[in-house]
Chains A and B, each alone.
Chain A
């Protein structure tokens, strides 16, 4: 009897070790990634929200700020520029996304799919150039491109056919903001879509040809439905990246010309928080603006998942063998 009672002890110790070992490997594997996410993503997000609850600014410094609750959010809600900046943001994101990052990227991917491997490669590399060009240089190039005579390329060319030159970026700021961001952004979707198209078996197009589908019907009925997942990914990813990227607008129109013509949310936040014209940068208000932007991005993502029926895309197949 005594021997029987003594027996479980070492076994239990073994079990504890097993549990520990079982728990250790997930921690070891996930630990580094969790730490990185916590340090680089969660912590800044928390700090942003915390700062947004203060009146922290250059005037208060790090010692004299006060906790003001959600007053910053109230100020945003009652800002006379809220509607204008929101409208600009939606216009900027939607136009760039639809026309270039998804639309033009799709056109490029579908067209290059029909070129030889080599020609398609050259073409795609050309479209990658704006992405790997330093943004300051690219923005300067576009400013010179659009500049008034006798410097601007557009003005020079149009001058040859008698069209009077002026600063085209001031005349059509939105066209330039959207096109510049679109030229940079289109290559991302193009690469994603191209690889997705390359993954569609050639037999499916041959079968469609045998069944009498025209080139357009092949694109519409075979290529595009198979790109639903990549289009969702590019749309969601690029929405977030457009919402937060303002460097090309900063470097070209800087929110102008005139008053807030092309001022988008992230640029507005930057101007208030880090580059106030009057010298008093309002960190608290800027942080609140950033927090609102995160919520806007999350909301847009949720809408996309619903629109593209994400649940259906990841549903497991039901295979029945007979």
Chain B
């Protein structure tokens, strides 16, 4: 079943939590909503779940408007950030809860609980209580409870944020495997970009209650449509250098002006360069002074001052950079991004002597 949001908005009193969100989650697709806390991503999820009613716009499940339908009528399964397991019930009863409240037959309940517990691999935990489980086990119980009613749509609200790093990666892969296997339409909310980019077919970026982009993870990283997204996606974050366009040339502070291949309106811009797109080179574009080297195993993160700007670049481990030394940096122009300094929108550009 596909889920469509058309200009959906939600106000709490005078506060606008979500505004004009339009999004289509295709049948069997996994879409992640990514954004900083307070951006409206959880509110959007609660709107899709039916826990909140939208104050504007329409929500459609399989072409049917469900604005006023209860979560039960929508047929959604949901995993909460806190897992929201019932501490007084055993794992079996926690998973059986959605079936109990709709008064399924006992034998049928037992069979379905066992099937979903086997699928997720927690069959041996059924007699326990939530307090007797580790975080990862609780998370899987919550997932079972969401799946046991065979929902048309699965909603995951930061399901991994309470797990430690190693377990998070394993569970991430596990959720992806289950979602593919069951072919279930899934909406996933996260503030962790690595999580969202790695798990989702497409990622929606939310900012200030608005959905500002919905793209594949690769596009989001390689072709960020705005400065906000360019800055938000990617660790370590992108470098920004002040730039000007004059007489058909792109001038970046401290760099020789370069001729543009195509006309770009004159004005002030920001040139965005990811840390992996700056290289140490004997005859580079920029001169900078190294002030910090972070050794991160496979690669080093070098911080260097270039005029007023502070630049980050990634080098291989063991590179010849010492704190206090002056280095020459080459800019991979073809991988750089130009953003309007006012609107922040990406502006396509290419250099005449270094075409894309």
| Interface, chain A (partner B; CB < 8 A) | 201, 203-204, 206-214, 217, 221-222, 225-226, 228, 317-322
Contact = CB atoms under 8 A, between A and B. Distances in A.
B134 A211 contact: no
A226 B132 contact: no
Contact of B132 (A222, A225, A318): A318
Given A212-B102, A214-B101, A221-B97, 11 more contacts: A203-B80, A206-B78, A209-B51, A210-B50, A210-B51, A211-B72, A211-B101, A217-B101, A221-B86, A225-B86, A225-B89
Contacts of B134: 319-322
B270 interface: no
Contact of B82 (A203, A214, A222, A321): A203
Interface in B86-137: 86-89, 97-98, 100-102, 129, 131-134, 136-137
Given A210-B76, A213-B101, A322-B136, A317 B71 contact: no
A217 B82 CA distance: 21
B94 to A, nearest CB: 10
B37 interface: no
A213 B71 CA distance: 10
Contacts of A222: 86
A206 B84 contact: yes
B155 to A, nearest CB: 8
Of A209, A211, A320, most B-chain CB atoms within 10 Å:
A211
Nearest to A225: B88
Interface residues of B, number: 34
Given A225-B88, A319-B134, A322-B137, A208 B101 contact: yes
B51 A221 contact: no
B78 A226 contact: no
16 contacts: A209-B51, A209-B70, A210-B77, A210-B78, A210-B155, A211-B71, A211-B72, A212-B70, A212-B98, A213-B97, A213-B101, A221-B101, A222-B86, A319-B131, A321-B134, A322-B136
A212 B49 contact: no
Contacts of B72: 210-212
B97 A208 contact: yes
Interface string B272-302: 0000000000000000000000000000000
Contacts of A203: 80-84
B145 interface: yes
Contact of B71 (A209, A226, A228, A321): A209
B133 A207 contact: no
Interface of B: 46, 49-51, 70-72, 76-78, 80-84, 86-89, 97-98, 100-102, 129, 131-134, 136-137, 145, 149, 155
A96 B7 CA distance: 56
Given A203-B82, A222-B86, A322-B136, A210 B131 contact: no
Contacts of A319: 131-134
B84 A204 contact: yes
A201 B84 CA distance: 8
Contacts of B149: 211
A201 B82 contact: yes
Contacts of B70: 209, 212
A196 to B, nearest CB: 13
Contact of B88 (A207, A211, A213, A226): A226
A6 B137 CA distance: 61
A212 B71 contact: yes
Instruction: Sort A-B residue pairs by CB-CB distance and give the 8 closest, nearest first.
Output: A212-B72, A211-B98, A203-B84, A317-B131, A207-B84, A225-B88, A210-B71, A213-B101
Contacts of A226: 87-88
Contacts of A211: 71-72, 97-98, 101, 145, 149
A317 B83 CA distance: 18
A319 B133 CA distance: 6
Contacts of B155: 210
A207 B80 contact: yes
A320 B128 CA distance: 11
Given A210-B49, A211-B145, A320 B98 contact: no
Of A206, A207, A209, A222, most B-chain CB atoms within 10 Å:
A207
Contacts of B86: 204, 221-222, 225
B107 to A, nearest CB: 20
Contacts of A214: 101
B323 to A, nearest CB: 41
Contacts of B89: 225
A321 B193 CA distance: 27
A101 to B, nearest CB: 23
Contact of A320 (B82, B83, B132): B132
A224 to B, nearest CB: 10
B100 to A, nearest CB: 8
Nearest to B51: A206
Nearest to A204: B84
A282 B12 CA distance: 69
A212 B49 CA distance: 11
B350 to A, nearest CB: 50
A318 B129 CA distance: 9
Contacts of A210: 49-51, 71-72, 76-78, 155
A154 to B, nearest CB: 43
A222 to B, nearest CB: 6
B332 to A, nearest CB: 45
Nearest to B146: A210
Nearest to B149: A211
Contacts of A207: 78, 80, 84, 145
Contact of A212 (B83, B101, B129): B101
B88 A206 contact: no
A24 B88 CA distance: 42
A264 to B, nearest CB: 36
A217 B46 CA distance: 21
A200 to B, nearest CB: 9
Nearest to B142: A207
Contacts of B83: 203
A211 B87 CA distance: 16
Contacts of A321: 134
